[in-house]
Amino acid sequence: MSGQGEAPLVAVIATGGTIASRRGIDGVSTPSLSGEDLLALVPQISARLKPVDLMAKDSSSLTLADMQRISDAVGVELGDPTVAGVVVLHGTDAMEESSLLVHLQHAITKPVVFTGAQFTADHPDADGPSNLARAIEIALDQTNAERGVLLSFGGRCLPAWGLYKLSADSADAFRSARPVAPAATLNLAAPVAGLRVDIVAIYPGCDVAHIEASLQAGADGIVLAALGSGNANPGIAVAVKRCAERRVPVVVSSRVPEGLLVASYGGGGGGHDLVAAGAVHSSTLRPGQARILLAALLANKSPAETIVSAFGESLSH
C-alpha cells in the first residue's frame, strides 16, 4: 500500500474534541489545535502521517449531518490505496455514536481507529498524545481490519459496537456493553443527515408527554432510555402502540450500562409488553448507539424484520 521500503501511511482525521483543546484565560476549554499540531506531539513512530483537518467541534455539539461528514471522510481514506489505516480524533461525548455510524456504513478493509482525550492538550496529565500514538500502532496492524471500527483509549482497544463512556473524569473512560461486534455486515451506506431520531428518558412515574412531543415534532423514530432490562409502565406501552399505528418505529434500550437486555417482564409496561405493543428491543446497544443504528436503518429504508434482526444481532454471541 506504500512504495517499497517506504513507511506505511496513516490518515489522521481531526474533528476537534478535548484532544485538540486548550484552556483559555477564562478557564474554558475549546478545540484550537490542528491535526498537524497534534501529530507533532506524538512520539516518533515508524509510519508516515497524513493530517486531515475536517472540523473543530466539541462532540457534544455534533449533529447527524456532522457525523455523516466524519463517516464520509473515513470512506475517502478507505478508498485511497496509499493509506494503510485511518485514525479519527474525536471528542469523547459522542465518540460512541460517530464510531458506530462509520462501522455501519463502510466495509472496513483496513484498520479504522477512533481516539481522543479526557484532558486538554495543555493539562499536566494530558492523555491525548499517548492515546494517539497507540491508535496509530493499532491502525498499522492490518489484522485489526477484521474487527471493524475500533476505539483505542486509556490503554484499551474496544469495538465500536456496544461502546459507551463510563467515566467523565478518568483517563480509562470507555467500556463495551458487549465486547463482540455482530458477525453480519449490515452495510447501511445511505446518509443519515436530515433524519430526526429522538431519545426519550423513562423514569418511575413518567407519562407520555415527551413521546407525544417527539411525534408532533415529526420524529422519524424514537428510542426509549428505559429502566432495567428495558421496562416502562402501562401508559408508555399505550404510547408505543400509537407510534406503531403512525409507523414511527420505537426502539427500547436501557439506562443501565452493562449486561444483555432481555424483554421478559410483563405487568402492562414491561419489556415484553412494549414489544407486544410494537416496539423493537435492543439487546445490546444503549440509547446513544441505538439512535444511530435506528437512523441508519431508516435512511436505508429497512423493512421491519431487518430492524428487529439488527437490534437483536448480538444475541448469537
> Residue ranges per domain, the chain?
7-174, 195-310
Residue 160, C-beta contacts closer than 8 angstroms, at least 6 positions apart: 96, 99, 100, 102, 103, 114, 148, 149, 150, 151, 181
What confidence tens digit (pLDDT) does each residue in 32-49 have?
Answer: 888 888 888 887 788 999
| pLDDT score of 184 | 55
Residue 82 appears among annotated catalytic residues: no
- Vertex 136, ends 126 and 31: CA angle to 5°? 40
| CA distances in angstroms from 257 to 162, 186, 229, 252, listed in the order given | 10, 24, 10, 14
Architecture of domain 7-174: 3-Layer(aba) Sandwich (3.40)
| pLDDT score of 228 | 97
> For residues 78 and 72, what is the distance between their CA atoms, to the nearest angstrom?
10
Q: Does CATH number 3.40.640.10 belong to domain 195-310?
A: no
Question: Which residue positions form the known binding site for substrate?
Answer: 59, 92-93
| pLDDT score of 1 | 47
| pLDDT score of 252 | 98
**Given its phi and psi angles, is residue 228 left (phi above 0), alpha (psi -120 to 50 degrees) or beta?**
left
> For residues 72 and 74, what is the distance between their CA atoms, to the nearest angstrom?
5
Neighbours of 185 (CB within 10 A): 13
Contact between 140 and 85 (Cβ < 8 Å): yes
Q: Within the chain, which residues score under 50 in pLDDT?
A: 1-2, 314-317
Residue 256, C-beta contacts closer than 8 angstroms, at least 6 positions apart: 227, 228, 229
- As a whole-number percent, the residues of the chain with pLDDT over 90 amount to 82
Contact between 112 and 71 (Cβ < 8 Å): no
Q: Are strands 250-254 and 150-153 parallel, antiparallel or unpaired?
A: unpaired
| pLDDT score of 180 | 60
Are both 7-174 and 195-310 of the same fold? yes
Cell (9 digits) for 101: 455510524
What is the reported pTM? Answer: 0.94
Q: Catalytic pick from 15, 18, 115, 284? A: 18
Residue 18, C-beta contacts closer than 8 angstroms, at least 6 positions apart: 29, 91, 92, 116, 117, 118, 119, 120, 128
| pLDDT score of 317 | 36
| pLDDT score of 179 | 56
What confidence tens digit (pLDDT) does each residue in 154-193 have?
Answer: 999 999 999 999 999 999 999 998 656 565 567 899 999 9
What confidence tens digit (pLDDT) does each residue in 259-279 have?
Answer: 989 999 999 999 999 999 999
Q: Are strands 83-89 and 9-16 parallel, antiparallel or unpaired?
A: parallel
Question: Which residue positions form the known binding site?
Answer: 59, 92-93
Question: What amino acid is encoded at 270 in this protein?
Answer: G
